Amino acid sequence: MDIQLLSILLMLCITDSLCLRCPEQIHLSFGDEHETMVVMWSIDIQIRCQVEYGESPDLLKYSARSNVSELPEWSSNALKYIHKAEVKNLKPGRRYYYRVVALDDNEHAVIRSSVHSFTTLTNDIGKPQKYLLYGDLGADADFPIYRKLEEEVASNNYTAIWHVGDMAYDLTSENGQTGDRFMQLIEPFAANISYMTSPGNHEIPGDFMHYRMRFSMPGIEWPMPLTKMWYSYDIGLVHFISYSTEVYFSHNEDYVCTQFYWLLDDLIKANQKRDKRPWIIAMGHRPMYCSNNNADDCTNRFISRWVKHGLERLFHAQGVDLIIEAHEHSYERLWPLYDEKVYATSYDNPQACVHVISGAAGNVEGVNWMRRRPEAWSAFRDDKTSLYSYGRLTIQNHTHLSFEQVSAQDNSLIDKFWIVQNAHGPFLKDITCEGPNRHESCVCPPLIRYVYLIIGLALGMLFVIFVGIICCFCCWRRSRTKKPKGYVTLHPLNNIEHEHYLVEGADLV
Ligand SMILES: [Fe+2]
């Protein structure tokens, strides 16, 4: 880089606020191992960067160099260069401090970010863990949830944030400017806690490119490939799974069965360790069920419940305890259910998956109102006070889990419930996924689009046949009731009912 330019930048970087090209949009995520933390940021010039870190804010004596990816041409308004650094070999349960530094050709620091900090995961597997989670969050600084999340993370009570799809509306909007604004808004908390994500429908534009570049998730190469936007991660007593519901709704459909068999393998392995890590919690953006008053993926029972069709049987068979979903801009909690059937109206040792839909963090599209009458599986729902709300998940121990939905506007508690499970494991017992007798839940369901195409063609043919029969019938009837030549309709005076008179030699009317 030009020395003169670097000197100018250095002079301008007396503080972060004056810095023209400071690394920004800093956020964290878990690395492939518990001892690794991933730090990411954006910058608008091509320059080498690194993370400097240590256990004291005054002594950042270690460093980790970053890799860089460049946003595509159509993202002209976004900071172009996205960096990812892996900070490795961290001690468990410790607080680390770090900053992002840009370097000149002589390895001298020319730009420095503020100092941030994070706490590494503990080795104490039984220690209660708390998480923040939500979906559907737009890039508007006036949304009260941003301030609330900053307060929550500053309390140091939480292990991670899970954002279950739909970010910024959209990351690609305004040629990437909206994405930059969103990443700037989450930095005050995402720079201090792992910000874990799942893709939603608003990440689809541009082949998920901004999502795949702006975030890095464990066990996935970076930028995330289209062929694997799903992952799992063990923390304490929980096996977390993030899956992509978008494979069912985009040209990503080729990956439906790739994801399915990855999930099957992952769940089978997780079940082998259920005594040590009993809870399985899965997260995906679009819900399998919901009772909102719209024609959406989860409301239309016969046409578009593709996620339910693709994954519900697998999750039920393998005993997923809790499924967190979003997409609907409201809050809803379901009773334990499978295939429309409610298994219990309590959460004491549920024998089917429990669903929570928390998609009301704050968005430009407003609330999705509920239908008047709830379905039998809907245990609690809120579309009035839930806008700008988020979830707090607490894993108490092997048997107890609690969930709260909280309003960011007035801190009120919208909902709270416990799940008590004394016998974790598959909800379908004694099934095998090996050999010729493998259970149907171990086989990727055929793409529902093809099924409906066949049904649509069949219905179309039936319709044509039906119309043909009706036409034939009408023609036959008309030929039998044809009026004899010479009849004409006259209109007598005084509004007397019309009568037909035979007029010799008159023209037909
Ligand atoms: Fe969505």
Distance of CA 11 from the midpoint of ligand 1 (Å): 44
Distance of CA 449 from the midpoint of ligand 1 (Å): 20
Distance of CA 254 from the midpoint of ligand 1 (Å): 21
Per 3-state DSSP, the chain is made up of helix, strand and coil in percentages (nearest 5) of 25, 30, 45
Distance of CA 391 from the midpoint of ligand 1 (Å): 17
Distance of CA 136 from the midpoint of ligand 1 (Å): 7
pLDDT score for 290:
95
Distance of CA 471 from the midpoint of ligand 1 (Å): 45
Topology of domain 130-445 in CATH is Purple Acid Phosphatase; chain A, domain 2 (3.60.21)
Distance of CA 451 from the midpoint of ligand 1 (Å): 24
Distance of CA 285 from the midpoint of ligand 1 (Å): 7
Distance of CA 243 from the midpoint of ligand 1 (Å): 14
Which comes out higher in pLDDT, residue 287 or 475?
A: 287
Binned at pLDDT 50, 70 and 90, residue 12 comes out as very low
CATH of 1-123, one of 3.30.360.10, 1.10.287.130, 3.40.640.10, 2.60.40.380: 2.60.40.380
Distance of CA 284 from the midpoint of ligand 1 (Å): 10
Distance of CA 101 from the midpoint of ligand 1 (Å): 36
Tell me which DSSP letter residue 102 carries: E
User: Quick one: which of 43, 59, 60, 42 has its CA closest to 51?
Assistant: 60
Distance of CA 347 from the midpoint of ligand 1 (Å): 27
Distance of CA 387 from the midpoint of ligand 1 (Å): 15
Which comes out higher in pLDDT, residue 505 or 148?
A: 148
Report the 10 Å Cβ neighbour count for 17: 8
Distance of CA 264 from the midpoint of ligand 1 (Å): 25
Q: Per residue in 118-149, pLDDT tens? A: 999 998 888 899 999 999 999 999 999 999 99
Distance of CA 287 from the midpoint of ligand 1 (Å): 9
Distance of CA 257 from the midpoint of ligand 1 (Å): 22
Q: Per residue in 386-439, pLDDT tens? A: 899 999 999 999 999 999 999 999 999 999 999 999 999 999 999 999 998 999
Distance of CA 158 from the midpoint of ligand 1 (Å): 25
Q: Tally DSSP H helices, then E strands, for the chain.
A: 7, 27
Distance of CA 26 from the midpoint of ligand 1 (Å): 25
Instruction: State mean pLDDT over 245-262.
Output: 88
Query: What is the percentage of the chain residues whose pLDDT exceeds 90?
Result: 75
Distance of CA 423 from the midpoint of ligand 1 (Å): 34
Strands 499-502 and 354-358: unpaired
Report the 10 Å Cβ neighbour count for 375: 16
- Summary mean pLDDT of the chain: 89
Residue 125 half-sphere exposure toward CB, CA atoms < 13 A: 10
Binned at pLDDT 50, 70 and 90, residue 453 comes out as low
Query: What is the percentage of the chain residues whose pLDDT exceeds 70?
Result: 87
Binned at pLDDT 50, 70 and 90, residue 441 comes out as very high
Distance of CA 380 from the midpoint of ligand 1 (Å): 21
Distance CA 489, CA 119 (A): 94
Distance CA 476, CA 489 (A): 24
Instruction: List strand residue ranges (DSSP E) for 36-125, in order.
Output: 37-43, 48-54, 62-70, 81-87, 95-103, 109-112, 116-119
Distance of CA 137 from the midpoint of ligand 1 (Å): 10
Binned at pLDDT 50, 70 and 90, residue 342 comes out as very high
Distance CA 285, CA 303 (A): 19
Distance of CA 368 from the midpoint of ligand 1 (Å): 11
Distance of CA 359 from the midpoint of ligand 1 (Å): 8
Is the confidence at residue 454, as pLDDT, over 70?
no
Distance of CA 247 from the midpoint of ligand 1 (Å): 13
Q: State both tokens at 310.
A: 């693709």
Distance of CA 166 from the midpoint of ligand 1 (Å): 5
Distance of CA 144 from the midpoint of ligand 1 (Å): 20
Decide if 224 contacts 212 (C-beta within 8 A): yes
What Å distances lie between residue 195 and 42, 130, 256, 493, CA to CA?
16, 14, 25, 85
Rg (CA), the chain: 30
Strands 389-395 and 129-134: antiparallel
Distance of CA 138 from the midpoint of ligand 1 (Å): 11
Distance of CA 171 from the midpoint of ligand 1 (Å): 13
